[in-house]
């Protein structure tokens, strides 16, 4: 079962107040096949089918017709088709999506507080939403709508919760999406998918921790590589000075540093300072080692320039 199905399965079992159930069903019906003669709702989720069936019974005392058929998609899931063929205008009016005509966007009173707005967004997710499993390579939650007007309406309401949802035109429909990991987790909280939130956050935190560890390891490896390259260059400079018998051109302190660099060719400057301090009983800091190494480097550069000329 996909993560999207898990979330829909969970939220379809939530018991709401009458106002919340009306908002929930309004969102589902708005995103279904509706006319003044028929309401037709398709879903691959049996839990969603049971919820829709029970809502029509509870709110309108109507026994919906349910048909089950084999899907035509690659995984051949069953499709549950719920049909209503009577009292259509009455139903649509109560769901706030009919006023002289079928409305693209429901009337405002259907979501006049946070609880009904959350229930409405839950219905929208049930009807048109999908969310990637957090184990996958990217975080992504999206909805697909037929009209830009409705897409803008959903963006407006989602962003009441500061979720930074955005819109993208896709062929004949409009995609509303959220890509930020924390915002997706917040959306799952808003629609009361509590178990999905716990799973999602556990995986997200694990992935973030793993990514941080990888970044630190990469940074550490980069630092090690830099230390090795720097030390190698310093050894080359010292050997060049030795080749021409130029050690006497260095002061005694620089000669000491050169001696220890050749003795410990892979040590970092900090490690070199600690080794010299320990073995000579004369404290020297990392910056002190670096300062004297620069004098060695300058001498080697002068020798190279002279050889070039």
Q: What is the arrangement of strands in the sheet containing 141-145, beginning at the earlier edge strand? A: 129-131, 141-145, 173-178, 166-170
141 secondary structure, DSSP code: E
What is the predicted pLDDT for the residue at 76? Answer: 64
What is the predicted pLDDT for the residue at 137? Answer: 64
User: Rounded to an integer, what distance in angstroms lies between the CA atom of residue 217 and that of residue 221?
Assistant: 6
What is the predicted pLDDT for the residue at 43? Answer: 92
What is the predicted pLDDT for the residue at 203? Answer: 84
User: Rounded to an integer, what distance in angstroms lies between the CA atom of residue 11 and that of residue 4?
Assistant: 11
Regions of the chain with pLDDT less than 50: none
What is the predicted pLDDT for the residue at 49? Answer: 93
Q: Which residues pair with residue 78 across a beta bridge? A: 70
User: Rounded to an integer, what distance in angstroms lies between the CA atom of residue 102 and that of residue 119?
Assistant: 21
Residue 99: helix, strand or coil by DSSP?
coil
What is the predicted pLDDT for the residue at 303? Answer: 86
By the 10 Å C-beta count (0-12 exposed, 13-18 middle, 19+ buried), 94 is classed as: middle
Length of the chain: 309
Question: pLDDT tens digits, residue range 261-299?
Answer: 888 888 888 888 999 988 888 899 989 889 988 988 998
- Do residues 207 and 215 touch, judged by C-beta distance below 8 A? no
In whole angstroms, how far apart are CA 36 and each of 9, 12, 26? 30, 26, 15
What is the number of other CB atoms lying within 10 angstroms of the CB of residue 269? Answer: 20
Nearest to 40 by CA among 9, 75, 57, 65: 65
What is the predicted pLDDT for the residue at 10? Answer: 95
User: Rounded to an integer, what distance in angstroms lies between the CA atom of residue 133 and that of residue 30?
Assistant: 27
User: Rounded to an integer, what distance in angstroms lies between the CA atom of residue 299 and that of residue 305?
Assistant: 10
What is the predicted pLDDT for the residue at 280? Answer: 87
The token duo for 185 is 């987790």
What is the predicted pLDDT for the residue at 73? Answer: 59
In whole angstroms, how far apart are CA 55 and each of 9, 21, 78, 80? 16, 7, 21, 15
What is the predicted pLDDT for the residue at 74? Answer: 59
What is the predicted pLDDT for the residue at 120? Answer: 97
The pTM of this model reads 0.68
- Do residues 40 and 79 touch, judged by C-beta distance below 8 A? no
What is the predicted pLDDT for the residue at 75? Answer: 60
Nearest to 202 by CA among 210, 192, 214: 210
What is the number of other CB atoms lying within 10 angstroms of the CB of residue 78? Answer: 13
**End-to-end Cα, the chain, rounded Å:** 75
What is the predicted pLDDT for the residue at 248? Answer: 84
């Amino acid at each position: 079962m996909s993560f999207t199905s898990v979330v829909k399965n969970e939220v379809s079992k939530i018991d709401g107040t009458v106002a919340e159930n009306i908002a929930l069903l309004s969102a589902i019906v708005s995103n279904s096949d509706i006319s003044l003669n028929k309401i037709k709702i398709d879903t691959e989720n049996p839990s969603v089918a049971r919820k829709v069936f029970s809502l029509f019974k509870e709110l309108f005392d109507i026994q919906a017709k349910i048909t089950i058929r084999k899907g035509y998609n690659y995984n051949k899931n069953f499709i549950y088709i719920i049909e209503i063929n009577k009292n259509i205008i009455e139903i649509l009016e109560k769901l706030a999506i009919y006023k002289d005509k079928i409305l693209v966007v429901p009337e405002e009173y259907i979501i006049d507080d946070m609880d009904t707005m959350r229930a409405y967004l839950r219905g929208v997710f049930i009807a048109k939403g999908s969310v990637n499993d957090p184990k996958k390579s990217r975080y992504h939650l999206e909805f697909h709508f037929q009209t830009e007007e409705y897409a803008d309406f959903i963006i407006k309401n989602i962003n009441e919760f500061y979720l930074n949802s955005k819109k993208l035109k896709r062929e004949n429909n409009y995609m509303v999406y959220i890509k930020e990991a924390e915002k997706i987790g917040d959306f799952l909280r808003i629609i009361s998918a509590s178990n999905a939130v716990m799973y999602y956050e556990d995986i997200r935190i694990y992935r973030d921790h793993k990514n941080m560890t990888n970044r630190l390891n990469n940074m550490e490896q980069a630092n090690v590589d830099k230390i090795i390259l720097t030390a190698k260059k310093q050894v080359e400079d010292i050997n060049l000075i030795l080749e021409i018998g130029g050690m006497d051109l260095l002061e005694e302190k620089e000669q000491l540093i050169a001696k220890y660099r050749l003795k410990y060719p892979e040590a970092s400057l900090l490690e070199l300072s600690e080794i010299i301090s320990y073995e000579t009983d004369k404290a020297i800091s990392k910056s002190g080692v670096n300062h004297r190494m620069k004098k060695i480097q300058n001498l080697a550069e002068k020798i190279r320039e002279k050889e070039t000329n």
